[in-house]
Structure 1
């Protein structure tokens, strides 16, 4: 499967979606992996976890236009980074899709989620009362997924642990629509960082993505 969707955010930044229709062996054959990565793949259970890991790495390779080995590590906070290439990266996956965002000029965050009714049951875990107040009852599920993806994208862009979606990431009201922008702030102690998170619905998935300041 080729790239399903690709979007240029700015001259230095883009993201893409990959629909995972291949078998694990097909994806594996498109990668160059070191011994540590091969051992990690061996430990993953067969199924979606395996396909998601492989799918995001194949997509990253396609976006960077290289057949060379890509040394992708994670830091102490779990944020992925490239050792020998001048790109910030963010990875996400949900069911049949992998998503990758890359930028040469600033940290990025992306999240993709399949839209399901279950989000309503956990809304209290990531939404503040004032955020719930602007949710349109007629578009509740869709709008809640925008909020979740926006907060997840901000969390990934910021790239440090111990951030509460409800307590530390605040969203401003936005109209329910298939794509748009959400104003967000990350507030924690003396930290106050504004973000403009973009979102779009793709088939039955919601995608939130953001680029931070260098």
Structure 2
């Protein structure tokens, strides 16, 4: 199907969603790939992992609106970056959707997740007691997914492996709704950064994103 949703945070920062209905071959035909990228694709099993990798790159091309080769690599921490374009980027995918966020002037992070009940089991592993206390029990699953997506988005923006969702990313209390914002912070030894988290529900998926 292709691009199904896009949103601008400001004149320099935006994100978009791609609904994956193409075959790998159809997505592949939309890209310019070099030998190392083709080799990487060959190592992926030909299922969702293959489709996710291809669809995020196709969506990135759409958002950059270019016919040039896009040199998208990952650093030693696994954070994607563009070698030959100045924009900051963040990539995410879940089941039938891919998400890409770009900014001309600031780091970004985005996460999209299919909403499933199993999150209630793992919640204590990424939420501290104060955070669990503000969860709306009538809308517990959605509320927890907002929190997960928020922490994942901050983790991706920070882009380093020295972050614990439970210990280092703090979410301030917020009221659940279909979309909105709330405050959060990344707190490491000798370092703190405050963020405004954006979230919205899209069909059966939750999206969390941040720029900073």
Matches within 5 A, 1:38-53: 38-53=38-53
Contact 1:31 1:58 in 2 (8 A): yes
Tell me how far 1:159 sits from its aligned partner. 1.0
Preserved contact between residue 150 and residue 182 of structure 1 (Cα < 8 Å): no
Residue 203 (structure 2) aligns with:
203
Indicate the residue corresponding to 1:89 in structure 2.
89
Deviations 1:38-96 (A, max 9, x none): 00000100110000000000000000001211001111111110001110000000000
1:153 deviates by 0.4
The secondary structure found in structure 2 opposite 1:145 is: helix
Look up the match of 1:11: 11
The Cα of 1:197 is off from its aligned counterpart by 0.7
Deviation digits for residues 87-129 of structure 1, max 9, x if unmatched? 0000000000000000001000000000000100100110001
Question: Match of 1:74?
Answer: 74
Helix, strand or coil at the partner of 1:26: helix
Aligned counterpart, 2:153? 153
SS of the equivalent of 2:146 reads helix
Aligned match of 2:130: 130
**Alpha-carbon deviation of 1:2?**
2.9
* Secondary structure, aligned partner of 2:121: helix
Check conservation: 2:2, 2:21, Cα contact below 8 A. no
Paired residue secondary structure (2:100): strand
TM value normalised by structure 1: 0.98
Question: Is the 8 Å Cα contact of residues 128 and 166 (structure 1) preserved in structure 2?
Answer: yes
Q: Secondary structure at the match of 1:162?
A: coil
Query: Partners of 1:2 and 1:139 in 2: how far apart?
Result: 31
Q: Deviations over 1:183-213 (max 9, x none)?
A: 101001011000101000000000001001x
Equivalent-residue separation in structure 2 for 1:73 and 1:51 (angstroms)? 17
What is the distance in 2 between the residues matched to 1:26 and 1:68?
19
User: What's the C-alpha RMSD, in Å, of the aligned pairs?
Assistant: 0.6
Structure 1 moving runs of 4+ over 2 Å: none
Alignment partners' CA distance in 1, 2:28 and 2:125: 37
Gaps of 5+ in 2: none
CA drift of 1:176 comes to: 1.1
> Residue 38 of structure 1: SS of its match in structure 2?
helix
- Could you tell me which runs of 5 or more consecutive residues in structure 1 were left unpaired when the two chains were aligned: none
